[in-house]
Amino acid sequence: MIKLPEKLYQQLLEHVQDEFPNEGCGLVAGVIADEEIEVKEVYTMTNLDASAEHFTMDPKEQFAVVKEVRNKGYDLIGNYHSHPFTPSRPSEEDKRLAYDEEAIYFILSLKDEEPVLKAFSIKEQKKVTQIEIELI
């Protein structure tokens, strides 16, 4: 179970809506305790690809965020990106590029009137497991 504060969900949502029609992306940090994960920070990143179909995060921004996450004593939970025109599920490219089996991949679909956020664990670049998100 992932606990996501409403204000952080809104921050994430506003970011990907601002990036539309391109994919928005970023990193997610927080606290991992047993089977429960609490999101404490959402870090918006630049999509260097400026594409509606894929993203590449700016490495300089990533390093700065990792340093800040460590300084705050949080865990780097994973990353997020939007699917402007497709459902909230990992694409074949998402699965192929999922090298970190410990990371959680948050995908926010904007294809319907109501945005849909889902989170996934991707093992061996194939086995996809959805993780429940609770807005708090």
Q: What is the Cα–Cα distance from 121 to 95, expressed in whole angstroms?
A: 10
- For the entire predicted model, the pTM comes to 0.93
- 5 burial via Cβ count (<10 Å: 0-12, 13-18, 19+): middle
For 122-134, write each residue's pLDDT tens digit.
988 678 988 999 9
pLDDT by residue, tens only, the chain of 136 residues = 999 999 999 999 999 999 999 999 999 999 998 888 999 999 999 999 999 998 999 999 999 999 999 999 999 999 999 999 999 999 888 888 888 888 999 999 999 999 999 999 998 867 898 899 999 9
3-state helix, strand, coil split of the chain in percent (to 5) is 25, 40, 35
Between vectors from CA 107 to CA 103 and to CA 110, what angle results, nearest 5°?
170
